[in-house]
Amino acid sequence: MPSQKIIIVSGASSGFGAMTVRGLADAGHVVYAGMRDITGRNTAAARDASEYAQTRSVDLRPIEMDVSSQDSVDAAVEAVVAEHGRVDVVVHNAGHMVLGPLEAFTPEQLVGVYDTNAVSTQRLNRAVLPHLRGQGDGLVVWVGSSSTRGGTPPYLGPYFAAKAAEDALAVSYAAELARFGIDTVIIVPGSFTTGTNHFANAGHPASPEVAEAYEGRYGGLMDQIARKLADLAPADADPAEVARSIVRVVDTPKGRRPFRVHIDPADDGAETVNRVGDLIRREFYRRVELEDLLGPALPAD
């Protein structure tokens, strides 16, 4: 894979995505910052990315990509391939958090949360993986969450479930892409109560009367969770470390990349549980003689 990589990042208008595209561009890569409605709601985000590129003399390009639309995702990937003839890295970062008692969310809301956090990765994969398979090379980075294995406080159920689904997809894809020479890394951020827009932009239940029924027993719960999470995190917790971790794995040679990278300042236990789960996965693959699927096929010497 060339040292300068062609990279597509979903959900790049804010938060981890915005930090990541800037970090990758600063590292010398050609980076496409996927975001929806760049001539509307995300006009300012697209403009800021373009201005960053101009000011820093880096190659950072906002691109229209609505991960809820296969046509939009296909068009974005086709535009990148038409420009460069290849894609080297895709970063699944698009996500959306919701807050509130699980019962108060409608089934349709759960479908929406699953779509943004999990199903959207399938749209992007179906658009980009034919190119990576054809190249016999590439890297898929999944931005997950420590909530899939660590301590999970109440009132975040739809988000936690959707991120768990994303993690399961990432693990399955890792094995199914290995023989094509495509590498997989799962980035596992913990809770960052400052420096991102996760909590500020979170969605809320469509049934406020149901949410109100929980207030008698669970009043003030979200404030308590936010306060305690902030207390658990060290004063120097920096969400930009997530972006720096992604830059490091992109720049690490194939075959030497870690399967998971945890960035969890509050230490909610996910790293411990994932270590056990990934060990069991490795041992099982050895038992069924599929050990080669634990890492990407490397070019013959």
Residues forming the active site = 159
Least Cα distance to 94 among 205, 170, 18 occurs for 18
CA distances from 177 to 93, 163, 174, 211, 232 (A): 19, 21, 6, 43, 37
Please, is 6 exposed, middle or buried when counting C-beta atoms within 10 Å of its C-beta (0-12, 13-18, 19+)?
buried
Residue ranges of E strands in the chain: 6-9, 30-35, 60-64, 89-92, 138-143, 182-189, 260-263
Residues pairing with 186 in the sheet: 142, 260
Which amino acid belongs to residue 92? H
**Residues of the chain by 3-state class (helix, strand, coil), percent to 5:** 50, 15, 35
Please, is 180 exposed, middle or buried when counting C-beta atoms within 10 Å of its C-beta (0-12, 13-18, 19+)?
middle
